[in-house]
């Protein structure tokens, strides 16, 4: 303890102490004099103040955490382990949950509430599973930190994916066969008027032939193109929300992708009109071709092409990636080679999500059956 006389003649007594985080803090009391009796009183009062401060810290630590508090703490971990675009997508997907439950103490949330919440909105089954997984990260963090006794999301019951004829039909709408893509591009180019119309068609064909994610293609730079070795190096992905280059979706997505003759022709077409840009796929105004642009034109040209069995309203750039991986499976490419080419981290995604039964597969199976003899 030490003391200091104030301008008004009174004496201020100070004492330092360490809080629960081992940080040094200070308390003080003021007395009319600096004598021995005043010092004794000040010491007693300072000890009481320190005890109160430490008690308040303990109470604060033991106070039930809110969903908002657990969410804020868990997001630091999620941000460190996710790609920037994935993190933003996950954050956006939790907005409704945080709005409804953010102020609640996490230990007060019951499994039945979460069950009802997930079924209160007209979510698709896939979306419902995704939201449950994201909420589960918050509760798992709270459980690991001792803020709650369990991760209640482990008790949620969600329906398994129902494989009806309708769902299978929708599934098949999410990719193009080689024949469908030929017809689609032929229709697109027959209606093309401006140079950018042809550029977009070439870009779509390049995605179909390489399986690149749209962000990877938009972020591809000429410095990562090697025409002689017939390869491109995928190191970055263009983040449309932040309008800047960012990391790829996962470490496996940093990769080399080999190119066929047609891909080289497409690159040469874009090289003729670089417009001073370091990026490969740019329009006549020098701006990159991006996701929203391609998704819009896929629907416009899809309506014109009128492909049998396809709903053009569902066309998106990611369909081209689905299609490429499906074609690799049809060509008999080893699973590991497919994963490496498209930058997949989980083999279940390659097998379970993208491998479909193509008409070509049926024809090949029929030929093999014809040659069976007993």
For the domain made up of 170-367, give the CATH fold.
hpI Integrase; Chain A (1.10.443)
SS3 for 64-85, per residue? CCEHHHHHHHHHHHHHHHCCHH
Q: What's phi and psi for 16, nearest 5 deg?
A: -100, 155
201-206 — which CB contacts under 8 Å span 24+ positions? 201/301, 202/266, 202/269, 202/270, 203/266, 203/281, 203/289, 203/294, 204/294, 204/298, 204/317, 204/320, 205/181, 205/262, 205/266, 206/263, 206/266, 206/267, 206/281
Per-block mean pLDDT, blocks of 10 residues, the chain (374 long): 88 87 88 88 88 73 84 92 83 94 94 94 86 96 92 92 60 81 95 94 96 95 95 92 85 92 95 87 92 93 90 91 86 84 78 57 59 53
Q: pLDDT tens across 91-101, in order?
A: 999 999 999 99
Selection from 342, 303, 308 nearest residue 325 by Cα:
342
pTM of the model: 0.67
Residue 10 contacts by C-beta under 8 Å, 6 or more apart in sequence? 30, 31, 32
Q: What's phi and psi for 240, nearest 5 deg?
A: -65, -35
**Can you give the pLDDT at residue 241?**
78
**Can you give the pLDDT at residue 207?**
97
Q: Is the dihedral of CA 307, 312, 316, 317 positive or negative?
A: positive
**Can you give the pLDDT at residue 361?**
62
For the domain made up of 67-159, give the CATH fold.
DNA polymerase; domain 1 (1.10.150)
Q: Are 87 and 250 in contact (CB under 8 A)?
A: no
**Can you give the pLDDT at residue 224?**
97
Q: Is the dihedral of CA 253, 259, 263, 268 positive or negative?
A: positive
Strand order in the sheet with 2-5: 2-5, 11-18, 24-31
**Can you give the pLDDT at residue 374?**
47
**Can you give the pLDDT at residue 239?**
86
Q: Which residue has the tokens 């991986």?
A: 325
**Can you give the pLDDT at residue 372?**
52
Q: Which residue has the tokens 């993190």?
A: 87
């Amino acid at each position: 303890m030490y003391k200091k006389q104030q301008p008004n003649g009174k004496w201020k007594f100070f004492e330092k102490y360490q809080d629960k985080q081992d940080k040094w803090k200070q308390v003080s009391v003021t007395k009319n004099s600096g004598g021995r009796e005043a010092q004794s009183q000040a010491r007693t009062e300072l000890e009481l103040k320190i005890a109160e401060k430490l008690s308040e810290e303990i109470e604060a630590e033991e106070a039930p955490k809110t969903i908002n508090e657990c969410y804020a703490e868990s997001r630091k971990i999620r941000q460190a382990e996710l790609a920037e675009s994935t993190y933003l997508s996950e954050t956006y997907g939790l907005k409704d949950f945080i709005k409804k439950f953010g102020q609640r103490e996490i230990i007060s949330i019951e499994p039945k509430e979460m069950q009802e919440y997930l079924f209160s909105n007209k979510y698709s089954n896939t979306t419902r599973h995704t939201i449950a997984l994201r909420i589960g990260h918050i509760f798992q963090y709270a459980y690991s930190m001792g803020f709650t006794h369990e991760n209640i999301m482990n008790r949620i019951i969600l329906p398994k994916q129902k494989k009806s004829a309708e769902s299978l039909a929708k599934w098949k709408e999410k990719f193009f066969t080689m024949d469908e893509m030929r017809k689609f591009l032929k229709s697109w180019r027959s209606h093309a008027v401006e140079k950018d119309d042809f550029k977009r068609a070439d870009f779509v064909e390049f995605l179909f032939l390489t399986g690149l994610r749209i962000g990877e293609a938009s972020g591809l730079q000429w410095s990562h193109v090697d025409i002689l070795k017939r390869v491109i190096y995928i190191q970055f992905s263009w983040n449309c929300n932040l309008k800047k280059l960012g990391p790829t979706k996962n470490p496996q997505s940093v990769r080399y992708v080999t190119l066929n003759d047609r891909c080289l022709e497409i690159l040469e077409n874009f090289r003729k009109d670089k417009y001073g840009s370091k990026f490969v796929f740019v329009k006549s105004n020098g701006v990159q071709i991006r996701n929203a642009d391609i998704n819009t034109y896929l629907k416009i040209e899809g309506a014109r092409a009128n492909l049998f069995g396809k709903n053009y309203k569902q066309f998106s750039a990611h369909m081209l990636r689905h299609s490429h991986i499906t074609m690799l499976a049809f060509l008999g490419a080893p699973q590991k080679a497919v994963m490496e080419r498209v930058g997949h981290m989980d083999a279940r995604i390659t097998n379970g999500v993208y491998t479909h039964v193509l008409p070509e597969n049926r024809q090949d199976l029929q030929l093999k059956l014809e040659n069976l003899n007993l």
